[in-house]
C-alpha cells in the first residue's frame, strides 16, 4: 500500500459505498457531519491491536473488520441507541497488501450495514503493527439504558450467545480441529450481537439496566451490580449451552467457564422490572437481590471473571 499513498487508499476504501441517511457529510472534508435528530448522540470507542485482539493467521481481514465494528455497535445498542455511523482509524505497515485493506473495509461496511449504519470517515497512518480504532455513534431514541437501573426483584436475562467465542478461541489456541468445531470458531472470528433484541424491545418492556457481554458475563453483570448497588444471582441450570458440551469434552474444559467468563460474544445482558413474559429473544438467567456481587446458585465463583487489559 506504500505505492497508493494515503489519499489513494482513502479513495479505494470509500469507492462505491452508499451512506445511510444519518451521514449528512461523508469523507473528504476536514470532518464528517452526522445527524443527531434527538439533540444528543451516544458514542463509544475501542482500540484493537494485532496479536492481542485479533490474529491475521486466525481470522480473515473481512472477519477482523466485521468484529471491530460489531463490538462497537454492540456498545451503542447496549445504551438503547440505534447505530447511526462509525469512524475508523487504521494503522498498518506500509507493506500491507492493498487487498488486505480492501477486505478489512468490506468487512467493516458489511457489519455496519447489519447494524443499519455506514462508515462516515477515518484516518489511515503507517504503523509497525496493525491497529484498528473504531468510534461508533447512535441515536438514543429512548432515555439511555444505563448500568445503574437494576433493582432487587428484577429478572436478569440475556439475548444472544454466551461462551461460543471463548470456546472458539480455546480451539484455535490449543491447535484443536477448527473444522470439527466450525461453529464456535466462526463465533470467535465474527461475533453476532443480536441488535434486534434490543432495538425492537416493546415500549412495555420495563428494562432497567443493560450491557453487552464483552468482558465476560460475570464481569459485565458485575458492572451492573456495582453501578446499581445490588446483588445478582444466576441460575446455573439456565446457563447450560448444549452446543458447547462436545467442545468442552474434547478440550477437557467445563463449558460453564466459557459461559461465565468468556467475553467477545457481545450478547446483551439486562434486568427487567416486570416479572411476566420476557420480550422476544430474551432468556431468563437469574434474579436481582439486595446486596453486592454476582453469584451462581447463591455461591461466589472463584477463578477469572473475564477480560481485563494490562491484567
Q: Which of residues 60-99 bind a second copy (CB under 8 A)?
A: 75-76, 78-79, 81, 85, 87-91, 94
Asked if 182 interacts with a second copy (CB under 8 A), we say no
Q: How far is CA 163 from the centre of its chain?
A: 13
Phi, psi for 62 (deg, rounded to 5)? -60, -45
Question: Residue 141 Cβ, how far from a second copy at the closest point, in Å?
Answer: 13
Q: Which residue has the cell 496479536?
A: 51
Asked if 31 interacts with a second copy (CB under 8 A), we say yes
User: Can you read off the three cell numbers belonging to residue 12?
Assistant: 479505494
Asked if 303 interacts with a second copy (CB under 8 A), we say no
User: Do 32 and 156 touch, CB atoms closer than 8 A?
Assistant: no
What span, in angstroms and rounded, lies between the C-alpha atoms of 132 and 112? 15
Length of the chain: 311
Question: Residue 216 Cβ, how far from a second copy at the closest point, in Å?
Answer: 13
Q: Which of the residues 137 through 156 are near a second copy (CB under 8 A)?
A: 137-138, 140, 144, 146-148
List, in sequence order, every beta strand (DSSP E) within 76-173.
82-92, 118-126, 131-139, 155-159
- One character per residue 114-133, x = contact with a second copy (rule: CB under 8 A): ------xxxxxxxxxx-x-x
Which of 12, 47, 178, 273 is in the footprint of a second copy by CB under 8 A?
47
What span, in angstroms and rounded, lies between the C-alpha atoms of 219 and 210? 13
Binding residue per annotation — 51?
no
Q: Which residue has the cell 446455573?
A: 236
Which of these ranges, 2-10, 59-67, 110-118, 172-180, lies near a second copy under the rule CB under 8 A? Answer: 2-10
User: Which residues participate in the annotated binding site?
Assistant: 30, 44-46, 53, 75, 122-123, 212, 214-215, 264, 307
Amino acid at each position: 500500500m506504500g505505492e497508493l499513498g494515503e489519499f489513494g487508499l482513502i479513495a479505494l476504501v470509500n469507492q462505491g459505498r452508499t451512506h445511510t441517511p444519518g451521514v449528512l457529510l461523508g469523507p473528504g472534508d476536514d470532518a464528517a457531519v452526522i445527524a443527531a435528530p434527538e439533540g444528543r448522540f451516544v458514542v463509544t470507542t475501542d482500540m484493537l491491536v494485532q496479536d492481542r485482539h485479533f490474529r491475521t493467521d486466525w481470522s480473515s481481514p473481512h472477519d477482523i473488520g466485521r468484529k471491530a465494528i460489531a463490538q462497537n455497535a454492540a456498545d451503542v445498542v447496549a445504551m438503547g441507541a440505534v447505530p447511526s455511523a462509525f469512524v475508523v482509524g487504521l494503522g498498518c505497515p506500509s507493506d500491507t497488501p492493498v487487498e488486505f485493506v480492501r477486505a478489512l473495509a468490506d468487512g467493516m461496511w458489511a457489519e455496519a450495514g447489519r447494524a443499519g449504519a455506514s462508515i462516515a470517515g477515518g484516518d489511515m497512518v503507517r504503523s509497525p503493527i496493525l491497529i484498528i480504532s473504531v468510534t461508533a455513534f447512535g441515536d438514543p431514541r429512548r432515555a439511555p439504558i444505563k448500568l445503574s437501573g437494576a433493582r432487587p426483584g428484577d429478572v436478569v436475562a440475556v439475548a444472544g450467545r454466551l461462551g461460543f467465542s471463548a470456546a472458539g478461541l480455546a480451539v484455535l489456541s490449543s491447535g484443536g480441529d477448527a473444522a470439527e468445531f466450525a461453529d464456535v470458531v466462526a463465533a470467535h472470528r465474527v461475533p453476532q450481537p443480536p441488535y434486534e433484541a434490543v432495538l425492537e424491545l416493546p415500549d412495555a418492556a420495563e428494562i432497567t439496566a443493560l450491557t453487552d457481554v464483552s468482558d465476560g458475563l460475570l464481569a459485565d453483570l458485575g458492572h451492573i451490580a456495582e453501578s446499581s448497588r445490588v446483588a445478582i444471582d444466576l441460575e446455573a441450570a439456565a446457563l447450560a449451552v448444549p452446543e458447547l458440551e462436545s467442545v468442552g469434552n474434547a478440550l477437557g474444559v467445563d463449558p460453564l467457564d466459557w459461559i461465565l467468563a468468556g467475553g467477545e460474544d457481545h450478547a446483551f445482558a439486562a434486568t427487567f422490572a416486570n416479572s411476566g413474559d420476557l420480550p422476544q429473544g430474551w432468556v431468563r438467567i437469574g434474579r436481582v437481590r439486595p446486596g453486592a456481587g454476582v453469584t451462581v446458585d447463591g455461591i461466589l465463583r472463584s477463578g477469572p471473571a473475564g477480560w481485563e487489559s494490562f491484567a
